[in-house]
Chains A and B, each alone.
Chain A
């Protein structure tokens, strides 16, 4: 017996996050740590709870162990419910055989039965790799007012960056006229945030059609895809369905690359000038929830020097930390220096080591006097170019005195 839910959220968490590969060797992208004590998936899950959405399907596929364990029964996000709650939905086998999720649309298609049990009016489709706080209920409201079939949340981006995104071209009422993926010459600066509200009957219809069409193409050895942006949105536009753009003005960051993950972490320290575009993690009315690891408070030692940084519980700091984000249980030994860096949970920076402009993954050890990364000031080449941030993966031991150059990515012990 299932009671009707007005809104069900589906969270696409199966992505491999190949551009984060040093950090996603053994974990799915949504389980990548962020902001000192969170993981990426905490943001959409907390948004759901804070928006009053209590039924969430999480579609997993790539390296689900850590993610499944982390989500558990959903209790940290108040999503342990008798009716509804969070459900992890991996691909499964049927009498017709077993198949992996073959794209974002197919992942939802394979779980139509899950959604149908709640007989929702609206389905919110979310990604697991964006950092933002958003009230989805306002977007659903907007969707209803416009009597829309699909609403896509968009954010105004600088013209110079528009060609990196899926761009929506809208009329004055924000009705979507056209959608172009990564246009060379963008006709608008409204970028899709990968957050959709669908009227369930319409979504179901288009998922089923896409499935049929794509399978037919596959049988004829034609190129096919089962993707939200590429297939579902395009077909709905073609058929003249009512698609609207919901403009969001707040902090939003795609953390799909190592650079953007590093930037988004440091954004917490130095918020953007535009007040609307700041991410406030200290707002008690909209908390970002996460699974606690029950560590004692952080200890800051006698010789520590900490400036402009974010540090999480269980850390032990004896060295110098400037402009960095340190996660739970990080140890910075005496004489070690961490500048402009992101140090993930359980990592130890040994005495005398220098970590600058770098991401160091979870449970790694940076040996005595090792040097990871370097600042643009110190390491520009003759042409004035700086390599970029250095990255050390999860569980990596960097031996004493070793050097990791800017832009170098280390996945194995050195």
Chain B
């Protein structure tokens, strides 16, 4: 049996959608645009593909139209395969299930018939709201060596209750065995934050799925909290840079972090390409009046004005005499001549014909998909 048959990857593409409701009103977490040309799910998919895991399921809950459009057959990730490849697992209605997953365990129960027939011995789960570039093999190796039931990927990181709302913190004994799992605990300071990735033995998952009752829908609560003593759960430390998106602020920060070369190199390692849907856009065209500093610019942009400390997605146009500063302009954004756009997140296909200043409440302005800012 070849190595890859042993592992099945599951991507929970709709976990924590509500945290960034501005961005998920018409899409799901996995299809949130990020970093100029990506969607969040590209990082999870590329992590699996770069680890040689090609049997992958994507679990979605709602608003998954744009996600389906993005991943298509999986071809851009080399996942349009006869053997294994990509499977999309939107909710389906069963006798005792209305199709809306309430949590990870709920979703796993729903797709259990499919998992049961997979040849995989291990299942690796990831979310889309934590992004990092990771090769799963060191984790797999440790999981097998420790004979763990579950291994959680974590990173030692400064933790702040307010800023990191919704984060899961794990405590371990000297052997790395997880003793306690807490969601948004009160004690700030350096903590081991779970990166929402885990590997679980299929036999153990079967036990959990079959023994849990219909009311148990949270994997964290059922397995990692209520049964942490019975289960053999270990932590695996990942030291590569990660970003966790739990609100619009952290989304803004995560994008802006990419302007740092070291972070960019950690997120896009040379030997670990991050694959995405190919857009076939022409290269960027800079006009005579272009002035660009400290910015990430995707193909298809036409820049005639000033751009500073900003992320421009594919096909954004910046008119003559315009200034875009500290902003994120998603695909197809059009900024007319002589406009000033300061601290804005413009969702896809926004047209701006007037000045946009930073909003008061958030410190930046959010312009929903397709907005038209008239003079």
- List the A side residues contacting B359 at CB < 8 Å: none
Contact of B283 among A35, A299, A306 (CB under 8 A): A35
* Per-residue interface assignment for chain B, residues 296 to 311, with 1 indicating a CB less than 8 Å from any chain A CB and 0 otherwise: 1111101000010001
A37-B299, A299-B295 are known contacts. Are A294 and B275 too (CB-CB below 8 A)?
Answer: yes
CB distance A302 to B298 under 8 Å? Answer: no
CB distance B290 to A76 under 8 Å? Answer: no
Closest to A280 in B: B282
CB distance A306 to B286 under 8 Å? Answer: yes
8 Å CB interface, B255-300 against A:
258-259, 261, 264, 267-268, 273-276, 278, 280, 282-288, 290-300
B35 within 8 A of A: yes
**A171–B15 CA distance with the chains assembled, in angstroms:** 71
CB distance A296 to B294 under 8 Å? Answer: no
**A35–B285 CA distance with the chains assembled, in angstroms:** 11
**A305–B290 CA distance with the chains assembled, in angstroms:** 8
CB distance B273 to A313 under 8 Å? Answer: no
Interface residue count on the A side (C-beta < 8 Å)? 37
CB distance A313 to B274 under 8 Å? Answer: no
CB distance A292 to B278 under 8 Å? Answer: yes
A298 within 8 A of B: yes
CB distance A312 to B298 under 8 Å? Answer: no
CB distance A313 to B283 under 8 Å? Answer: yes
**A75–B312 CA distance with the chains assembled, in angstroms:** 28
- List the B side residues contacting A311 at CB < 8 Å: 283-284, 286, 297
A310 within 8 A of B: yes
**A288–B300 CA distance with the chains assembled, in angstroms:** 12
Q: How far is the CB of A251 from chain B (nearest CB, A)?
A: 14
Contact of A313 among B37, B264, B302 (CB under 8 A): B37
8 Å CB interface, B24-44 against A:
35-37
Contact of A306 among B292, B298, B299 (CB under 8 A): B292
Closest to A268 in B: B285
Contact of A296 among B35, B292, B295 (CB under 8 A): B35
A282-B300, A296-B37 are known contacts. Are A37 and B276 too (CB-CB below 8 A)?
Answer: no
- List the B side residues contacting A35 at CB < 8 Å: 282-283
Q: How far is the CB of A80 from chain B (nearest CB, A)?
A: 9
8 Å CB interface, A311-339 against B:
311-313, 316, 325, 327
Q: How far is the CB of B32 from chain A (nearest CB, A)?
A: 16
**A306–B300 CA distance with the chains assembled, in angstroms:** 16
CB distance A313 to B298 under 8 Å? Answer: yes
CB distance B35 to A297 under 8 Å? Answer: yes
B75 within 8 A of A: yes
CB distance A307 to B282 under 8 Å? Answer: no
CB distance A300 to B292 under 8 Å? Answer: yes
A179 within 8 A of B: no
Closest to A312 in B: B283
Which of B264, B285, B307 neighbours the largest number of chain A CB atoms within 10 Å of its CB? B285
CB distance A37 to B296 under 8 Å? Answer: no
- List the B side residues contacting A300 at CB < 8 Å: 292-297, 307
CB distance B299 to A282 under 8 Å? Answer: no
**A36–B76 CA distance with the chains assembled, in angstroms:** 21
CB distance A296 to B293 under 8 Å? Answer: no
8 Å CB interface, A75-122 against B:
75-76
The 6 A-B pairs at the shortest CB distance, nearest first, are namely A36-B283, A297-B36, A281-B282, A312-B283, A297-B298, A292-B278
